[in-house]
Amino acid sequence: MTRVVLPEAKLFRDLIETIGNIADEVSLVLTGDGLSIKALDVDQTSLVDVLIPREMFLEYDVGEAVNIGVSINNLKRVLRHIKKGENLSIELEGDYAKFSIGAGGVVSRVFKFRNLDVPVPELPELSINYTVNAKLMAQSLKKVIEDIEAVGGSTQIKATQDAIVFKSIGAGKLEVRFAQGSLALISLEVSEPAEGVYDTSKLVNILGVARVSDIVSLQFATKNPLKAEFSIGPGRVVYLLAPFEA
């Protein structure tokens, strides 16, 4: 029998809500190492790769690797009203996936969904020479991107040895500069100055992860995809976004 228990269902809910901005269905892949989820958007310009290692689970009973295909909308509906501190168990029972919230508590809820045949996206191995590696406070990045979304336009990200700059490209004008020494900019390593222009709405899609991660690592190079990596304890969420063509 396959059964895993996460101590905090809210973490899983926040991740599912974020992934739901990219895909309608996903496959939860359980292996001996942990739970992984990969999703690729329809136009194949962005992808998300989530890993929740087995040490983050209260219980982890997985033999052979299994795939549990689910509808994101179904999961969002049942996870909507979870309370802080409620656990989440995921079990595979024949052709059904069972999700139990608050197991062992005064009130528990159990939901079953048919195990869908959802293919796992085959993500190509990318060999990118990133010239910029910046670590920022996740909430600070979230605020900047939301402000750019509010004024309208695409998001230009530029980096030099001295600072990383976020600028709206479009009808609205906004520029935010994080210089070395800024409280929001934890570190900045630049082997070569770089810049790229990205779809603001797709950046907003992933920023829900900032609710469960304090720090985000941004890596990019001119004319190359942006890589954003959020740490969640020993786990992580990686987001890749292709730039607009110059």
- The pLDDT tens digits of the residues spanning 8-31 come to 999 999 999 999 999 999 999 999
Task: Please compute the mean of the pLDDT values over residues 73-88 and round it to a whole number.
Answer: 90
Q: Cα–Cα distance between 206 and 216 in angstroms, integer?
A: 11
Give residue 89's pLDDT.
Answer: 95
Give residue 36's pLDDT.
Answer: 97
Over the chain, what is the mean pLDDT? 92
Q: Which amino acid is at 89?
A: S
Q: Which of 68-72, 91-95, 123-127 has the lowest mean pLDDT?
A: 123-127
Q: Cα–Cα distance between 157 and 47 in angstroms, integer?
A: 19
Structure tokens at 108: 């528990």
Instruction: Please tell me whether residue 45 adopts helix, strand or coil conformation.
Output: coil
Give residue 139's pLDDT.
Answer: 94
pLDDT tens-place string over residues 118-137: 999 887 677 889 999 999 99
How does residue 174 score in pLDDT terms, banded at 50, 70 and 90? very high
Task: Please compute the mean of the pLDDT values over residues 126-149 and round it to a whole number.
Answer: 94
Q: Cα–Cα distance between 202 and 242 in angstroms, integer?
A: 10
Give residue 106's pLDDT.
Answer: 63
Q: Is the pLDDT of residue 111 over 90?
A: yes
Q: What is the pTM of this model?
A: 0.92
Share of the chain above pLDDT 70, in %: 98
Q: Cα–Cα distance between 217 and 132 in angstroms, integer?
A: 10
Give residue 1's pLDDT.
Answer: 76
Q: Is the pLDDT of residue 246 over 70?
A: no
Closest CA to 210 of 128, 132, 143, 126: 143
Give residue 126's pLDDT.
Answer: 72
Which H or E run contains 44? none
Give residue 226's pLDDT.
Answer: 96
pLDDT tens-place string over residues 176-197: 999 999 999 999 999 999 999 9
Task: Please compute the mean of the pLDDT values over residues 138-155 and round it to a whole number.
Answer: 94
Instruction: Please tell me whether residue 68 adopts helix, strand or coil conformation.
Output: strand
Closest CA to 58 of 2, 1, 5: 5
